Structure 1
């Protein structure tokens, strides 16, 4: 069965009607502002545009062919021979680019002469003429588009860059896990041996630097002194109870959960290609979250049975997403070549069936469907879908995707 798709998003406005006029006066037809809401659907599940007893149904057909406009004409709700109608569709994209589609009759519809390039997000003007009567409609058809004030974008951590040439690395995949960074942990013990009088923190508690942890009575002076947290973090170990004798062993271990590292066993087959300082992209085994880092160092000893050497990479964890013990996948960049167009790998999101970045024009962000080449941990080659010099969201682009999904501004396919 033939499959006809809508090209309008759920936020598209209601139909705008204009009175029939002579062709000479078509340009002066009053174009009303679109109001939010659904629109009338025609027999081909397209958008119905009505002007008196005349109507045009607008669809986008893409079953086995590149997306193309198909228009169906009606009078008094009855199909009209497409040879009796002349039509034109004009679209204006966010960046001001304008495209005009002419139509030729084919079977029971008017077929647009040209491919409707993604994203299908633009302002639309439809003009049609039958006999001496001319008709004109205007409406918004937006998808994958959202407006975020610059101040709000900065607060959400959204950063931008410009599409251009970059060095792309060949990659090796390695599997590892998340661990707390030893440099972000502190062992807290007693200054002087003695009896533990009171404890003020428990396993799993979050404490601030300077918080009271315990009180100990010195065995030599019999004076009670306090023990305070030297750093802020979470109590990950508590090895004492009231009445215990505090000695040289730590009473608490405090770890900063925002300071984590990813550790990866590097096996002999890769050890000559993986080096400190190389970039890598860290992902969970499931999901889309990704983060760029660099191999910081290697532990000095190899694992005896496998002969693997452990590589460590910083994994900043401000929002607590990465949990110690979580398995992660790393893509290490081991070879470099320069490509004419590239975007930050972290900026790429999944949108419908496409991998996209979000172009920024003014305070508006809009999807750009990408054709991608070689993917590196830091940069990914772009073969098509976005032009050099385009400003795009390079950090925290998932915030934009969430706003678009929340608003419902997605393509009606």
Structure 2
């Protein structure tokens, strides 16, 4: 193998050894071995020197290297400038590599190639620029080693401080996202459970038993009226009943006399006909009474033939009342409206762009706008047309309301669960903070927190997919993460390269 090709490999091996030594020691060390051709300097605690390009300048004897991170209009990359006796050297005069050690991440090896008047790193230096750097440069048969530390967006917080601040630690990892379509809506009565009550007979109101907003049970008396029409029908029934009783007695007597050959058959047949006619008349009178909700068989117990009790046809809530004592009612006037509120509707407005998302039977989460009332339901109806004025469609969700927590007219927000998506890494939405121009979470490494800028993907409003910036298994600040951002601001941490 060509010796020239071995040089980069040798540099990487030597550099790895040096990185380990640099991380273990923070004191300035200088070693010189002319026979080995190696010079090492750790400048972590030295006063920082700036080069002509505004970068960090490292000098040993007459050889200098200036380290910069260039990010104007391009992703951040290292640029190294070489000097001999403070005079620029061409980038081809030396070979270089930098190893970066970060909290919670494997070491990053950056190699360099000549580009213009500098050496350009082959990798992007990801944010934040917070790391320990080990620099290795081969020039004129010697290998030079320098090291420095750069801290950014990092803060130390003990477990006791975390507890007192209320910061919760969570772990990034796989998750199932349930993206939701957010739509506005309003609670309405289930119109299938609404009954309008009419008296069915005309009369004068003598008493009103139930009032607006009251809860009634099926069969309860709502109001009492006195009806002359009903009195006549009841009288007709009672008279028909007496005529039938008399006709049956006559028929039974004539039947017995005919059997004994005492009377003519014609008298027997006439009595039979009159009995049948009386029975038909009674059935007709009974049918008229039953049409008004009467029980004719109990009519003999009624003392006042004009009194009529209007009863609730269902159990429910009185939502309208149009009746007053002394009022003369017509038989078709709507005097009460009852609504069974054990189920309600969430009526929602759907825009055309969302019609392909909403489906019959789809689960939805409903939350009241002005209170903490929450619930679940399923989509039970989607209109087949779009309103010409609003250019929207209507849909309904059936709500279980046995606890009576939903009230008609409540404004609500509806979150329709569109689909379930498995993602390899996700974090809590509560953990996200804005720092500089980044969206970050604060990773937890020992007793340190450090900002981790993220590239985000899909979200369901509770969790969000992480495409880059955090790996599965890494711990981060979840709830109350803003407390860390506040502490970071107090510490004066800067974004300075």
TM-score category by the smaller chain?
Answer: 0.5 to 0.7
| Alignment correspondent of 2:492 | 408
SS in 2 for 1:269: strand
Residues 173-208 of structure 1: per-residue CA shift (max 9 Å, x gap)? 4689xxxxxxxxxxxxxxxxxxxxxxxxxxxxxxxx
More strand by share: 1
Distance in 2, matches of 1:81 and 1:407, equals: 41
Within 5 A, what are the aligned runs for 1:348-387? 348-387=432-471
Distance in 1, matches of 2:479 and 2:443, equals: 12
Q: CA deviation at 1:412?
A: 1.6
| Alpha-carbon contact 2:366-2:414 (below 8 Å) kept | no
Q: TM-score, normalised by structure 2?
A: 0.48
| Alignment correspondent of 2:86 | 77
| Alpha-carbon contact 1:71-1:111 (below 8 Å) kept | yes
Q: CA deviation at 1:390?
A: 0.9
Q: CA deviation at 1:345?
A: 0.4
Within 5 A, what are the aligned runs for 1:152-167? 152-167=161-176
2:123 aligned to 114, 121, 130, which one?
Answer: 114
Residues 91-119 of structure 1: per-residue CA shift (max 9 Å, x gap)? 11112511222222221101112222333
1:391 aligned to 470, 475, 479, which one?
Answer: 475
Q: TM-score, normalised by structure 1?
A: 0.57
Provide closer, same or farther for how the CA distance between residues 412 and 355 of structure 1 changes in structure 2, counting only shifts above 3 A.
same
| Alpha-carbon contact 1:19-1:52 (below 8 Å) kept | no
Structure with the greater alpha carbon radius of gyration: 2
Distance in 2, matches of 1:161 and 1:150, equals: 14
Provide closer, same or farther for how the CA distance between residues 63 and 102 of structure 1 changes in structure 2, counting only shifts above 3 A.
same
Unaligned runs of 5+ in 2: 1-25, 186-345, 351-357, 377-398, 400-404
Provide closer, same or farther for how the CA distance between residues 161 and 25 of structure 1 changes in structure 2, counting only shifts above 3 A.
farther
| Alignment correspondent of 2:160 | 151
| Alpha-carbon contact 2:365-2:416 (below 8 Å) kept | no
Q: CA deviation at 1:389?
A: 0.9
Distance in 2, matches of 1:152 and 1:92, equals: 27
Answer yes or no: is 1:26 the counterpart of 2:38: yes
Q: CA deviation at 1:23?
A: 8.3
Q: CA deviation at 1:63?
A: 3.6
SS in 2 for 1:120: coil
SS in 2 for 1:45: coil
1:346 aligned to 430, 433, 450, which one?
Answer: 430
Distance in 1, matches of 2:120 and 2:165, equals: 44
Residues 38-62 of structure 1: per-residue CA shift (max 9 Å, x gap)? x333222222222243221111123
| Alignment correspondent of 1:206 | none
Q: CA deviation at 1:64?
A: 4.2
SS in 2 for 1:395: coil
1:301 aligned to 398, 402, 407, which one?
Answer: 407
| Alpha-carbon contact 2:38-2:142 (below 8 Å) kept | no
Distance in 1, matches of 2:437 and 2:106, equals: 24
| Alpha-carbon contact 2:366-2:415 (below 8 Å) kept | no
| Alpha-carbon contact 2:430-2:478 (below 8 Å) kept | yes
Q: CA deviation at 1:171?
A: 3.0
Provide closer, same or farther for how the CA distance between residues 21 and 54 of structure 1 changes in structure 2, counting only shifts above 3 A.
farther
| Alignment correspondent of 2:274 | none
| Alpha-carbon contact 1:160-1:393 (below 8 Å) kept | yes
Distance in 2, matches of 1:381 and 1:101, equals: 29
| Alignment correspondent of 1:97 | 106
What is the aligned length? 273
Distance in 1, matches of 2:142 and 2:434, equals: 45
| Alpha-carbon contact 1:357-1:393 (below 8 Å) kept | yes
Distance in 2, matches of 1:142 and 1:62, equals: 18
More helix by share: 2
Question: What RMSD in Å do the two structures reach over aligned CA positions?
Answer: 3.5
SS in 2 for 1:377: coil
Answer yes or no: is 1:334 the counterpart of 2:417: yes
| Alignment correspondent of 1:50 | 59
Q: CA deviation at 1:294?
A: 8.5
Provide closer, same or farther for how the CA distance between residues 32 and 57 of structure 1 changes in structure 2, counting only shifts above 3 A.
closer
Q: CA deviation at 1:142?
A: 1.8
Unaligned runs of 5+ in 1: 1-13, 177-265, 283-292, 304-308, 312-329
